[in-house]
Amino acid sequence: TKQKLWGGRFTGKTDPLMHAFNQSLKYDQRMHVVDIKGSIAYAKSLTLVGILTKEEEIKITDGLAVVGKEWQDGTFQIQADDEDIHTANERRLSELIGPLGGKLHTGRSRNDQVATDMRLWLLEEAKDIEQGLKGLIRVLVERADKEKDILLPGYTHLQRGQPIRWSHLLLSHAFSFSSDLQRLKQLIPRVSVSPLGCGALAGNPFVVDREFLAKELGFQSVAENSMWGVGDRDFIVEFLMWSSLSMTHISRMAEDLVIYSTAEFGFVTLSDAYSTGSSIMPQKKNPDSLELLRGKSGRVFGNMAGFLMTLKGLPSTYNKDLQEDKEPLFDAVDNISASFKIAEGVVATLDVHAEKMRAALTMDVLATDLADYLVRKGIPFRETHHISGRAVALAESRKCQLNDLTLEDYKGLSTTFADDIHKVFDFEASVERRESIGGTSRKMVDRQISVLRAILAE
Ligand code: ARG
C-alpha cells in the first residue's frame, strides 16, 4: 500500500476513522486554484536559489498546470489516502512527472502552504463579496431616488415617532452597508500578507526570495515573523467578525421589512420570487427570504464565536486545530455572498404601498412639530413639550386627531397659539423642515444619495 507523504517514521497504519477525522480534502479542495498557484510561484523561487534547474521548474509547473486542469474539468481522481488539497496535489504531480515532483516541497511546509492558500482564497472571494455588497447598496440608493415622495411614520420602540421619507429609511440601511464596505476594504491589507517561505515555523533555509513570492502571488506584504506567519489566523477571525456585523445589518433591515409586510402594517408586499407559501394555509405568503436573512446572521455569528473558541488557548505556531478554520470561513463566505444577492433581489422587487404608509401617518406624529411651533414663538422647549403633550391627551380623550381640536381648545392650553397653527398639520412641511445634514427633507435625502453614489463610484 502507498505511503503517506509523511509516512517515513511510521511503522503502524492510521486508524481508518482517524484518517476520516483528519482529512480535510472534502472541503479544502475548493482551494485547488490557489494551491496550484502558490506551488507554481514556489517552484519559480526554488529555481532562483538553484534548487531546481530551469528545465525542472518547467516540468513541475507544467505538471501543476495539468493537475489544476484536472480539478477544473472535474477529472481529478481523489485517492483514499489523500489527506488534504496540498497532499493530493503533490501526490498527483509526482504521478504525472515522477520523483522530480518530490523536489517541489523543498523548504516548504504545509504550514506556510495552507496559510498562503487561505489568504489567497479569501482575497479572491472578498472581491466578489465587495461586488455583492455594492449591488445591495446600489439598489437601495436607486429605490430611494425614485420613491422620495412617499412618506410614512418613522418609528422608535416600534411606536410611531415622526414623519419621514421612505427613501430616508432605505438610505439609513444603505449607510450601514457603506460602513461595511469601508471596513471590508480596510481589512484587506491584513489578509494580503504572504506567509509563503515561512517553512514549518523557523523560516526557509534555502533562502527563497519571499518578496519575490509575495509579488508573484499579488500579496501586499510579507509576514515578517515566520512563527506568526504559520500560526496567525486573525485574518479569518477579522473576516468572520466583519461578516457577523454585516449580517447583523442585513438582519435588521430584514426585520423592518418582515414587520412592514404584515397585513397589520401593509406597507410592502414581497414579490412572489422571494416568498413561499404554507402547506396547509392556502392564503399564506410568507417572507421566507427575509426570515432566512435574519436567521443566517445567527449562523455566521456562530462561525465567528466558534472559531475564536478554537483559537483561544492554542500554543504558538501551527496546531491541527487550525484546520478548523476552513469550514466556518467557507460557510460564512457562502452565506454572506448569497445573503447580499437575496437582499438585493428582495429590495429590487418589493412592492411599496404608498397609500398604506400615508394612512399610518396619524396627526400625533406631528406632536414634536406642534411643540416646535411654540418654540419658534419664544417659549422654552421643555414647556412646549408639555403643552403639546396636553394637546395630545385632549385629542385622545375626545377620540379625535390633533387637527380636529379648535383654535379655542389650543388657546386654552397656551395663549401663544394663533390661527397659523393649521400649518403644523402638514406632513410634507414637517419632513421639509428637517433640512440640516442628515435630515429627511428632499434636499438632504438627495445629498445622501449623492454621497452614496460617490462611494459606489470609488
Ligand atoms: N490540512 C491542514 C490544514 O488545513 C494543512 C496543514 C497541515 N500541517 C500539518 N503540520 N499537519 O490545516
pLDDT (tens digit, 9 = 90+) per residue, 131-153? 999 999 999 999 999 999 999 99
- What's the mean pLDDT in 367-386? 97
Residue 212 domain-assigned? Answer: no
**Is pLDDT at 8 greater than 90 in this prediction?**
no
Q: Is 112 in the pocket of ligand 1 (CB under 6 A)?
A: no
Residue 320 and residue 291 in one domain: yes
Atom of ligand 1 nearest to the CA of 84: 1
Q: Is 427 in the pocket of ligand 1 (CB under 6 A)?
A: no
Residue 30 domain-assigned? Answer: yes
Domain count, the chain: 3
CATH of the domain at 88: 1.10.275.10
Q: Is 322 in the pocket of ligand 1 (CB under 6 A)?
A: yes
User: Residue 96: how many CA atoms within 13 Å on its side-chain side?
Assistant: 21
Decide: 12 and 3 in contact? Cβ < 8 Å.
no
Tens-digit pLDDT profile for residues 149-201: 999 999 999 999 999 999 999 999 999 999 999 999 999 999 999 999 999 99
Residue 171 and residue 254 in one domain: yes
Tens-digit pLDDT profile for residues 73-126: 999 999 999 999 999 999 999 999 999 999 999 999 999 999 999 999 999 999
Domain that holds residue 403: 363-425
Find the 440 Cα to ligand 1 centroid distance in Å: 54
* Cα gap 110→249, rounded to integer Å: 37
Tell which of 324, 342, 359 closes a domain: 359
Q: Is the pTM of the predicted complex or chain greater than 0.80?
A: yes
Q: Is 23 in the pocket of ligand 1 (CB under 6 A)?
A: no
Residue 92 and residue 129 in one domain: no
Mean pLDDT for the chain? 97
Residue 310 domain-assigned? Answer: yes
Residue 326 domain-assigned? Answer: yes
Residue 343 and residue 380 in one domain: no
**Is pLDDT at 326 greater than 70 in this prediction?**
yes
Name every residue whose Cβ is closer than 8 Å to that of residue 433 and which is 6 or more positions away in sequence.
369, 372, 441
Find the 97 Cα to ligand 1 centroid distance in Å: 24
Atom of ligand 1 nearest to the CA of 326: 4
Residues labelled catalytic? 157, 278
* Cα gap 171→194, rounded to integer Å: 38
CATH of the domain at 294: 1.20.200.10
Residue 127 and residue 102 in one domain: no
Q: Is 84 in the pocket of ligand 1 (CB under 6 A)?
A: yes
Residue 162 domain-assigned? Answer: yes
Tens-digit pLDDT profile for residues 13-41: 999 999 999 999 999 999 999 999 999 99
Q: Cell digits for 156?
A: 422608535
* Cα gap 151→165, rounded to integer Å: 4
Residue 235 and residue 118 in one domain: yes
- Residue 352's DSSP bridge partners are 268
To test ligand 1's pocket by mutation, which of 233, 307, 320 has the most ligand atoms within 8 angstroms of CB? Answer: 320
- What's the mean pLDDT in 195-210? 98
Find the 33 Cα to ligand 1 centroid distance in Å: 17
Residue 52 and residue 14 in one domain: yes
Find the 190 Cα to ligand 1 centroid distance in Å: 21
Predicted local confidence at residue 4, as pLDDT: 80
Residue 39 and residue 12 in one domain: yes
Residue 258 and residue 339 in one domain: yes
**Is pLDDT at 244 greater than 80 in this prediction?**
yes
Tell which of 334, 359, 384 closes a domain: 359
Residue 455 domain-assigned? Answer: no
**Is pLDDT at 5 greater than 90 in this prediction?**
no
Tell which of 359, 381, 414 closes a domain: 359
CATH of the domain at 419: 1.10.40.30
To test ligand 1's pocket by mutation, which of 87, 114, 327 has the most ligand atoms within 8 angstroms of CB? Answer: 114
Predicted local confidence at residue 387, as pLDDT: 98
Q: Is 325 in the pocket of ligand 1 (CB under 6 A)?
A: no
Residue 445 domain-assigned? Answer: no
Q: Is 111 in the pocket of ligand 1 (CB under 6 A)?
A: yes
To test ligand 1's pocket by mutation, which of 5, 110, 321 has the most ligand atoms within 8 angstroms of CB? Answer: 110
Residue 436 domain-assigned? Answer: no
To test ligand 1's pocket by mutation, which of 39, 84, 330 has the most ligand atoms within 8 angstroms of CB? Answer: 84
Atom of ligand 1 nearest to the CA of 322: 12
Predicted local confidence at residue 1, as pLDDT: 46
Q: Is 60 in the pocket of ligand 1 (CB under 6 A)?
A: no
Q: What residue's CA is closest to ligand 1, atom 3?
A: 323
Residue 167 and residue 301 in one domain: yes
Rg, Å, the chain Cα set: 31
Find the 56 Cα to ligand 1 centroid distance in Å: 27
Residue 145 and residue 56 in one domain: no
Predicted local confidence at residue 2, as pLDDT: 62
* Cα gap 194→120, rounded to integer Å: 9
Residue 394 and residue 415 in one domain: yes
